[in-house]
Amino acid sequence: MSAPTLKEAMAELEVILKSPAQRIAEASAYDGAAFHYTNRYGDELHVRFVSGQYNNGRLAIQTVGAEHGEPEAVLTVNFDGFDGLDEGAGEIVVKTWGTNEDFAPAALGTGWFEDTGKRVSNGFVEASIWRVLTRDFIDIREEARAEAAAVMPR
């Protein structure tokens, strides 16, 4: 195997240096996972879900505007030190406070998730544990894992 060209090395470095939010926003979207909701300011938003993974491999989900692709809301959070997540059952940690007080119920209402009733506290906030009901989000995360493994230095 030959050494990568400068162009190839720079492309790999660009991927590695992106923030998790940038990587999630650029991940493949689950086609058809678009919905409308009204935010706390009365704005009707048309968004679609995109998913990827956090640095520890957990499923990361956010929404982007369906028309413009700009980030709108982050559904999942990644609490360090929380080990009570059954990732094999599709569980995710969901931000239900602050700007998500109106978004989280709308996302739950899509039918793509269910609330397990479990909660986890971190400082002054409490997050909900939901289960992903569609395999598509998990499949996209698996693709992101494979892509990340392919570009990470050995």
Is 28 among the domain residues?
yes
Return the H-helix or E-strand segment holding 93: strand 91-94
pTM of this prediction? 0.70
pLDDT in tens, the chain (154 residues): 566 666 665 566 555 555 444 444 444 334 446 788 888 888 888 888 888 778 787 888 888 888 888 888 899 998 877 778 888 888 999 999 988 888 899 999 888 899 999 999 888 899 999 998 887 666 665 665 666 666 666 5
Tally the domains of the chain: 1
Residue 94 β-bridge partners = 76, 128
Is 1 among the domain residues?
no
Is 139 among the domain residues?
yes
Residues 39 and 91: their CA atoms lie apart, in Å, by: 25
Is 100 among the domain residues?
yes
- Taking the CA atoms of the chain, what radius of gyration do you get in angstroms? 17
Enclosing domain of residue 147: 6-151
For the chain, what's the residue count?
Answer: 154
